Amino acid sequence: MFMNFRRIHKCQCVQLLTTGLVLCMVMVCWEELDHHVVSHMRSYTYRYLVNSYDFLNSSFVITTKDQKRKNGAISVNGLGSYPYLINHPDKCGGVGREGKRFDEVLLLLFVKSSPENFERRQAIRDTWGNESFVWSKLGDSVRLLFALGVHPEEGHRSFFHWGYKYCSQAHFFMSADDDIFVHMPNLVRYLRQVLGKQSRAKDLWVGHVHRGAPPVRRKDSKYHIPYELYPWPSYPDYTAGAGYVVSGDVAAKIYHATLVLNSSMYIDDVFMGICAKAMGVSAQEHVFFSGEAKAPYHPCIYDQMITSHGHATDVRSLWREATDPAVYSHSRGFVGNLYCTAVKVMLLCRPYYQNTYSCMAAFT
């Protein structure tokens, strides 16, 4: 048996070149590979195998000495002396057009916005944030506030402070971005169902939940978190900051957590998760709360949608389509329900499509 050494050398050269090419690609793409694969593997391992988060108490809770100093600063400045350039302390009081008082507030809406986004704020006022519409058409009291700017003191950058001081009677609090769309009739219906199960909703924190998410270590990302700020491989569970709802008691707990947690975490939804974990509050998934993507445009989606993200310019048109009474006729009856289930499967269950709602939403 004879061997062709020239062929062997050629094969070896091809193998060496292929191996070198693969190694070069791995080296070039390692940071991206580490972010998408290694970091998530470490995070999920920590979240589901270790799952302690004991560092929240040992690292973030202010000591007694620090607490006295912080309380002293608060007592000097006064709880009501924060420099709100425009404040509405009576927002949750007053009398409606029909002479009914607004003392009972179903939902207090806080929308985070930038000063230059006037058109977005006006579109929200005219559509899903319209207080008069909710009162006249849905029979409930909703209060809308826009949060602009950043408070200079870290412990008071959360909207929960304002709600705790000026609107503690609200059954629910909602935080949303100014490019979010909220299907208010569906949301009000859902919140009323929650209240129907108990006279005062408790321990509710609902939205699109991120479980076992790792900190982003890439310096070119706006979500970059250095090891010095957060050295652990996994965040506590948290809801996407684009839009989530908490009950009044949870809002009070989060507010008190901001007074005792000494964290410089500048990602608001992650900080919310840290506060909630420290206070023993768990996030609850709702399949029709969006994450960071936009919901498909279809009447069968509008029938149950709560929030959708990424609507900077089409809020008015979407509001007209999504709240059209004819929308609900598509899913009524056995045939309609079967039709909408099939449509939602096609829209939400494609493996290559990054949708807002999970495939499970097609069967709810």
Q: Which two tokens stand for residue 233?
A: 């491989």
Q: Which residue has the higher pLDDT, 37 or 80?
A: 37
The whole-number average pLDDT for the span 14-21 is 69
**pLDDT class of 192 with cuts at 50, 70, 90:** very high
CA torsion angle 277 187 111 264 (round to 10): 10
> Which of 147, 148, 160 lies closest to 275, judged by CA?
160
Q: What is the DSSP letter of 307?
A: E
Does the pLDDT at position 67 exceed 60? no
327 DSSP assignment: G
Mean pLDDT of 36-50: 69
- Angle 322-327-330 (CA atoms, 0-180°, nearest 5)? 145
Q: Where are the domains of the chain?
A: 55-285, 299-363
- Amino acid letter at 252? A
Q: Tokens standing for 151?
A: 């408070």
Express each pLDDT in 148-187 by its tens digit: 875 444 444 477 888 888 898 899 999 999 999 999 999 9
Average pLDDT of span 286-303 = 92
Q: Mean per-residue pLDDT for 267-272?
A: 89
pLDDT at 332: 84
Query: Taking residues 190-219, what's their average pLDDT?
Result: 87
Give the model's confidence band at 219: pLDDT under 50 very low, under 70 low, under 90 confident, else very high: confident
**Closest Cα partner for 347 from 183, 180, 331, 339?**
339
Mean pLDDT of the chain: 80
Q: Are 42 and 233 in contact (CB under 8 A)?
A: yes
pLDDT for residue 71:
44
Distance CA 304, CA 185 (A): 10
Tell whether pTM > 0.95. Answer: no
Our CA dihedral for 18, 24, 27, 29, rounded to 10 degrees, sits at -90
Looking at residues 274-296, what average pLDDT do you find? 90
Q: Would strands 107-113 and 172-177 be described as parallel, antiparallel, or unpaired?
A: parallel
Architecture of domain 55-285: Alpha-Beta Complex (3.90)
